[in-house]
Chains A and B, each alone.
Chain A
């Protein structure tokens, strides 16, 4: 394999494209994935995602979780399911071919966190410092 001068071009034949592996693995010419192994990966992902979805709805319906903790439980189930999708459906790994994708994802997560939690934080404190509407009306009336 290593003596073939054209082996780098062989990676570009497109034969791995449809395997949904661009965010996943480097082309493994020694061990090409079998239909059975790939199918099993997708089935594991489906079962895990369905279980986490069911857990989210179940946590809300049945009062099995301490009330104030439900929101945190839902967030945990949601993030876990995002992880399942990234790993089993999008095939995001830490393989060398995937390092750029993983770094871009990390940056995206940073920006999303800043926007989402930053907005909540700022707006919560702004509301705290606002004059209540009723007091404002009384000030105007008086």
Chain B
């Protein structure tokens, strides 16, 4: 490390193109110089790889839905089935919960237990509302005979949106765990890393939902 540090102080600093401090003092680690990356960087990178692989999984479901949207076997299509007001409320719930998760991150960074718990509770309630609306929509579709067995289009719809719903449910369980662990274990480093992964997961779920409301609901509704 000392040799690398000396080299960096001399101003060589090969990997910080355009970002490195002009004095040549190394600010960033984990790039072959300046020592190994700190653990929070490694933890975040690993979980980011998981999230990207999850996004690739979702892309397969998106492709299936788009290919099968007209394979209805005489059954109902998006125009007859989807209630866009319901979708708008679901979208608002997830966007606000993503924002509230950001507020939790601010509180956790300042080791403020009260605000961490309050904002986590708000995030969880918005997530629960979202899941409730989705389950209500699914039950309504099944009740009018448009369940996943009706047509290939509906199979792909329930698979894609249901897979996202399962992810949100898992996120809610994780959220409850974090709410219990902050008071029980305090703001230890391991708990902070755990929370970091949770926040990445929750924000990523909202990004997936952007794709769902755009491709499944909005573009689906204008597909003849």
- A: residues with CB less than 8 A from B are 1-2, 8, 11-20, 22-23, 26-27, 35, 38-39, 42, 45-46, 49-50, 53, 56-57, 60, 70-71, 74-75, 77-78, 81-82, 85-86, 89-90, 94-97, 99-101, 104-105, 107-108, 111-112, 115-116, 118-120, 123
Which single residue of chain B is at the shortest CB-CB distance from A15?
B109
- B: residues with CB less than 8 A from A are 1, 9, 15-16, 19-20, 25, 27-31, 34-35, 37-41, 43-45, 48-49, 52, 55-56, 59-60, 62-64, 66-67, 84, 88, 91-92, 95-96, 98-99, 101-103, 105-111, 187-189, 192-193, 195-196, 199-200, 203-204, 206-207, 210-211, 213-215, 218-219, 221-222
> Are A75 and B214 in contact, CB atoms less than 8 angstroms apart?
yes
Chain A neighbourhood of B108, CB < 8 A: 17-18
Of the residues B30, B59, B66, B102, contact of A20 by C-beta under 8 Å: B102
Cα of A53 to Cα of B213 in the assembled complex, Å = 9
Chain B contact surface mostly: helix
> Are B60 and A115 in contact, CB atoms less than 8 angstroms apart?
yes
Which single residue of chain A is at the shortest CB-CB distance from B54?
A108
| Minimum CB–CB distance for B79 against chain A, Å | 12
> Are B192 and A18 in contact, CB atoms less than 8 angstroms apart?
yes
> Are A85 and B206 in contact, CB atoms less than 8 angstroms apart?
yes
Q: Indicate whether A115 sits within 8 Å of B59 (C-beta atoms), given known contacts A11-B38, A85-B207.
A: yes
Chain A neighbourhood of B103, CB < 8 A: 39, 42
Of the residues A26, A100, A119, contact of B27 by C-beta under 8 Å: A26
Cα of A11 to Cα of B16 in the assembled complex, Å = 18
> Are A100 and B105 in contact, CB atoms less than 8 angstroms apart?
no
| Minimum CB–CB distance for B9 against chain A, Å | 7
> Are A19 and B105 in contact, CB atoms less than 8 angstroms apart?
yes
Chain A neighbourhood of B56, CB < 8 A: 108, 111-112, 115
| Minimum CB–CB distance for B17 against chain A, Å | 9
> Are A57 and B84 in contact, CB atoms less than 8 angstroms apart?
yes
Q: Indicate whether A17 sits within 8 Å of B62 (C-beta atoms), given known contacts A8-B1, A49-B95, A95-B19.
A: no
Chain A contact surface mostly: helix
> Are A96 and B63 in contact, CB atoms less than 8 angstroms apart?
no
Of the residues A13, A46, A105, contact of B52 by C-beta under 8 Å: A105
> Are B63 and A53 in contact, CB atoms less than 8 angstroms apart?
no
> Are A119 and B63 in contact, CB atoms less than 8 angstroms apart?
yes
Which single residue of chain A is at the shortest CB-CB distance from B16?
A96
> Are A101 and B221 in contact, CB atoms less than 8 angstroms apart?
no
Chain B neighbourhood of A57, CB < 8 A: 84, 88, 218
Chain A neighbourhood of B55, CB < 8 A: 108, 112
> Are A116 and B62 in contact, CB atoms less than 8 angstroms apart?
yes
Q: Indicate whether A23 sits within 8 Å of B44 (C-beta atoms), given known contacts A8-B1, A96-B31.
A: yes
> Are A85 and B41 in contact, CB atoms less than 8 angstroms apart?
no
Cα of A77 to Cα of B200 in the assembled complex, Å = 22
| Minimum CB–CB distance for B87 against chain A, Å | 8
> Are B102 and A42 in contact, CB atoms less than 8 angstroms apart?
yes
Of the residues B28, B64, B204, contact of A26 by C-beta under 8 Å: B28
Of the residues A35, A75, A81, A108, contact of B106 by C-beta under 8 Å: A35
Of the residues A2, A101, A111, contact of B48 by C-beta under 8 Å: A101
> Are A120 and B66 in contact, CB atoms less than 8 angstroms apart?
yes
Cα of A17 to Cα of B111 in the assembled complex, Å = 11
